[in-house]
Amino acid sequence: MSASSLSQNDLQVHLEAFQANLNGSRILLQGPFTTGKYPPVLDAIQNIREPFKRRLLLTSHADSISNTIKLSYEAIFRIQTTMDWSLSLNYIQHLVAQPGGHPLLIIIEDLDIPDAFFAKLQPMSQTTNKITIIHFNLHAMKIRSGLSTLYDTIFFPVQSDIGAQEAHHIFSILQSIYRPGWSFQEFREILTEIRAAGAGLCWTRVDGKNGNIFWYDPVHSLRTHELNREKIAYLLRWVADELN
């Protein structure tokens, strides 16, 4: 898929392939995503020299470790109340304060993150670039002020999988964080090209102050490693702890 551009009031909207390194940033996966067509988010955050040794899952689900991002986790919090958010935040603060500052990956799955949680987490993210957050949201999120300050990158579903209502929602989000004066007709022209290529759309401000939009090729799975004996033992210990 070649890069393209659209003119708008002497401005250019450049559409190029997504290649940013997102390690240490805050990422939103704005679903719904069709199984087998996910953003390549795990590839974008991998740091071969300093891999994630601690992974934390905050989820709304009770019947599985993770419905989508199937990694081994050091700790899992099922979030139901404000107290659960506070407990998870205390645990994160404990990990950040430990000597060595091992990279931390936080997966937040199908939850509306309270403003207070973001507010308390942000100072820790500013003092260290070793906290990476992936917020996987299956349902369309509410458009809120300051969205571009909460996230560094937002991945949207593959365009061939969305309908008119989802397209308008994506357009509204991009209007609020990227280009307020954008017309839907101009946005639809971009979607048509991406849809024909079987690609998805994302916005990121990692490589620019105001952010840019890119297309991405989907991947078929958000699990990077097959289960080995160590991970099977971890799963069995987790199940045993849950049953006690």
**Mean pLDDT calculated for residue range 28-35:** 82
Domain residue spans of the chain:
4-243
Top-confidence residue, 2 or 160: 160
CA distance 221 to 223: 5
Top-confidence residue, 23 or 228: 23
CA distance 138 to 34: 10
Confidence of residue 243 (pLDDT cuts 50, 70, 90): low
CATH architecture of 4-243: 3-Layer(aba) Sandwich (3.40)
Predicted pLDDT of residue 208 = 66
pLDDT at 2 over 60: no
Structure token pair of residue 125: 């993210």
**Mean pLDDT calculated for residue range 70-91:** 89
Alpha-carbon torsion (63, 223, 234, 54), positive or negative? negative
pLDDT at 106 over 90: yes
pLDDT at 8 over 60: no
Buried b (16+ CB within 10 A) or exposed e, 208-226: eeebbbbbbebeeebeeee
Predicted pLDDT of residue 6 = 36
Using one digit for the tens of pLDDT, what is the confidence trace for 141-199?
666 666 767 888 999 988 777 778 888 888 888 888 888 888 888 888 888 888 888 88
Contacts 24+ apart (CB under 8 A), 93-97: 93/124, 95/54, 95/56, 96/124, 96/127, 96/128, 96/131
24 neighbors 131 (Cβ within 8 angstroms): yes
Using one digit for the tens of pLDDT, what is the confidence trace for 49-62?
777 878 899 988 77
CA distance 125 to 132: 8
153 neighbors 206 (Cβ within 8 angstroms): yes
Q: For residue 180, how many C-alpha atoms fall within 13 Å in the half-sphere facing its CB?
A: 3
16 neighbors 203 (Cβ within 8 angstroms): no
Top-confidence residue, 160 or 219: 219
CA distance 227 to 244: 24
Top-confidence residue, 146 or 15: 15
55 neighbors 92 (Cβ within 8 angstroms): no
